[in-house]
Chains A and B, each alone.
Chain A
Amino acid sequence: MKSTTKKSAVEKMLTGIRGLDEALMGGVPKGRSTLITGGTGTGKTVILNEFLYQGITQFKENGVYVAFEESKREIIKNVKGFGWNYASLIAQKKLAFVDAGTLRELTFESGRNYDLSPLIERVKYAMNKVKAKRLAIDGLDNLFSRFQNKDAVRQALYQITDELKNSGVTVFMTAEKVGSDKGRSRYGVEEFVADGVIEIELIKGQQQFLRRMFAVKFRGTGFRSGIVEFEITDQGLLVYPKIPVENVVAKTDFQVRKGFGIKGLDDTLDGGIPQGHMVLLSGNTGTGKTMLGMQFLKQGIVEGENAVFVALEEPVEQVKKTALSHGWDFNRYEKERKVNFVTTNLIDISNDKLLYQIISAAEGINAKRVLVDSISTLLSATMSEEQVRQFLLQLSRHFKAKGITCIMNCLSSASFGAGRGQLLSGLVTNEMRLSSVTDGIIMLLFVERGQKVKKLLSVLKLRGSNHSKEIFSFEIEKDGIKMGEKYEE
């Protein structure tokens, strides 16, 4: 008999941990076990706790915590820091503990003739008590170090695994990683009983520790390879999944133009920036890039399109004040959920984190316009040029798929006071190298003519548009940018 339909390998289950489900392409294998391995202080226990807590609170999936490492009392106390009230969950019969931390009492072994069946019975008892769907086992290796008869421990682990396989319960467990072998924990058995292994590590950045995780294996299911960064925040874990390069058809539409609401400029752009375009707004310091970008966002908001302002250059408060001096109340826009601001730590900056922040800020309010002020900040921070290119590419693909129009400010070294015929002399710099990933370049520059500094603007490139090739002068006035005459020398 021929079968045309392919049976899907493994059903996935959402963990509910922010970012982790995306990184694992839809969650962890349902009814299976995942091992979290890593050194001391990497955050293994936090992942376990979040797995249980999110299960109970988001999905009504009750959980059991098997604590080999810390005592029940310590854990209840520790998670209070995240605002999680375990005592109440226990009282509501949503959470149960198998309290199996190291005992202070004297313990002797008389012969190797014993087994760990009470552990299995206690796990079953706890799971039955709350009708558990999730099981977290903290510190498997700790169990090994407590008994001389390692075979008894191994046997118990296999037995628990067997019992669980048919119960439909999804398991997260942790074991300390020793040495440098990838994904190997101390007793070797942990990987064997686990269907998936996630390794986490703590690495030294320039100013802070960075946490990273990567999936070592997931039997019979896909996962996004590569290292993802995560943080432990006061609300629990936050994973920054790699944003996949979108392969869906770009929603670029040359007919739909996104204007600045600046007379003259929109005409120059043949109506505005085409929807889904990523345009580089390049200019020397003080030429008005931030201002022009801000005006682009404001115009969108006025027309009913929400916006994201990625403020990497100046503090958000300062940006808002500047805007307000031109009569644009971004504070109010923010309160009305028409604009989201994104900031990040420029030291130890991370591609994935920033991408995730921008994309979730945009998704949160269904934004259609984005300003990144500026790309140069990323270059002068710790991002390499290649990372910036990668960042732009991922962001651009994503925005195109969503029909989001984006302006990237870029500090240009085009020289101040260029001589006759040398207006564009400094251009063979960043913007040319970034040109392939951008759809357009608008250039702002200064020239010194007749004892005065003039501000000039020119559209160097705009894919799919019959834009004006002229150079225009412009002024920054109280209520924004005003376009002037065509500039002729």
Chain B
Amino acid sequence: MAVKYVLKLYVTGVTPCSQAALKNIKKILSETYKGAYSLKVIDVLKNPKLAEDDKILATPTLIKILPPPVARIIGDLLDKEKVLLGLDLVAVRVGALEKNK
């Protein structure tokens, strides 16, 4: 099965906040989305050029590259509803249900 979700998580160094964001997104994905996904963690301190290219201003920032549209979620990703909204995951779940019928 092809990778459905392509995500990037930008962090700046190892901070409690970036650790929390990583933990939270993994948790949300495992709870609400059973499919395959790719999550790449990028450290701004090590890759400032990538941060420039992706126009990152704040960390943590989660970018959903696929499926379109591209969306960004800034913060520690503790607010699950916001994250689901940003990832468009509700729609995916509905679609998945319809498929199962």
Contact = CB atoms under 8 A, between A and B. Distances in A.
Interface of A: 98-101, 103, 105-119, 121-122, 124-126, 143, 146-147, 152
Given A99-B52, A103-B55, A114 B72 contact: no
Interface string B25-60: 000000000000000000011001101100111111
A158 B31 CA distance: 40
**Chain A, interface SS category:** mixed
B20 interface: yes
Contacts of B83: 108, 110
B17 interface: yes
Contacts of B52: 98-99, 122, 125-126
The 7 A-B residue pairs whose C-beta atoms are closest, nearest first, are A125-B48, A113-B76, A111-B75, A110-B82, A110-B75, A117-B12, A106-B71
Interface of B: 10, 12-13, 17, 20, 44-45, 48-49, 51-52, 55-61, 69-79, 82-83, 85-86
B69 A118 contact: no
A478 to B, nearest CB: 73
A110 B59 contact: no
Contacts of A117: 12-13, 44, 58-59
Contact of A100 (B10, B20, B57): B57
A106 B59 contact: no
A119 B44 CA distance: 10
Nearest to B76: A113
A111 B72 CA distance: 13
Most chain B CB inside 10 Å of its own CB: which residue of A101, A111, A116, A122: A111
A324 B57 CA distance: 66
Contacts of A121: 12, 44-45, 48, 51
A108 B71 contact: yes
Contacts of A126: 52
A118 B72 contact: no
Contacts of A98: 52
